[in-house]
């Protein structure tokens, strides 16, 4: 047969029951920890801790929040991050430094277009697909020809980039498919 303390502890875990005095004391004395860490200490969910704090009107100070963010960030570094892939990425072009090296030709082409527009040698035209005049961007099908651009609105530029990537990956997609 269960002792009274064990029974109270087990009953407090059942949905709908409040927190025991011991659990409340643990929560209130550990506000510098994240809700997840407090929950682990008293076998409760992160959401239940958050709900308790909101219900009681307890707000953490700026210093407590800063300490929690700092600790969470520290706990997410390197191998502890669930997205860690042993220091390598499946998509290295997403990182700015890698992209600057890998896509140097793209950066130079974009810069040439920007300068040509500034000096008036290139004039942005309406979108070649829908005719919109707002949010017009120059799209390169071939970055080795920097001043040969298709003028597209943001929406069609995104689609054109997706199609170019699909073509680079040997997929076939018709141009500007809606």
User: What is the percent of the chain where pLDDT is above 70?
Assistant: 76
SS3 label, residue 168: helix
For residue 7, what pLDDT band results from cuts at 50, 70 and 90?
very low
pLDDT at position 162: 87
Residue-wise pLDDT tens digits, 54-75:
999 999 989 999 989 988 888 8
Kindly state the average pLDDT of the residues 86-96. Answer: 59
pLDDT at position 115: 94
Domain extents in the chain: 4-80, 101-168
Which DSSP string do the residues of 108-120 spell out, in sequence order?
HHHHHHHHHHHHT
DSSP run (H or E) holding 151: strand 150-153
**CA atoms within 13 Å, Cβ hemisphere of 85:** 6
Going by C-beta distance under 8 Å and a sequence separation of 6 or more, which residues neighbour residue 50? 35
134: nearest Cα among 115, 116, 154: 154
């Amino acid at each position: 047969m269960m002792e009274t303390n064990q029974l109270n502890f087990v009953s407090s875990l059942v949905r709908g029951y409040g927190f025991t005095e011991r659990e409340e004391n643990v929560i209130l004395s550990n506000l510098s920890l994240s809700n997840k860490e407090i929950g682990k200490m008293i076998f409760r969910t992160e959401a239940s801790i958050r709900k308790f704090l909101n219900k009681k009107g307890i707000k953490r100070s700026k210093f407590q929040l800063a300490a929690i963010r700092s600790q969470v960030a520290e706990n997410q570094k390197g191998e502890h991050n669930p997205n860690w892939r042993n220091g390598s990425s499946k998509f290295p072009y997403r990182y700015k430094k890698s992209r600057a090296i890998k896509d140097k030709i793209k950066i130079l082409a974009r810069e040439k277009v920007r300068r040509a527009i500034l000096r008036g040698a290139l004039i942005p035209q309406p979108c070649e697909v829908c005719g919109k005049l707002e949010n017009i961007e120059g799209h390169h099908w071939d970055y080795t020809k920097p001043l040969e651009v298709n003028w597209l609105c943001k929406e069609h530029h995104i689609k054109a980039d997706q199609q170019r990537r699909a073509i680079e990956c040997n997929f076939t997609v018709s141009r500007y498919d809606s």
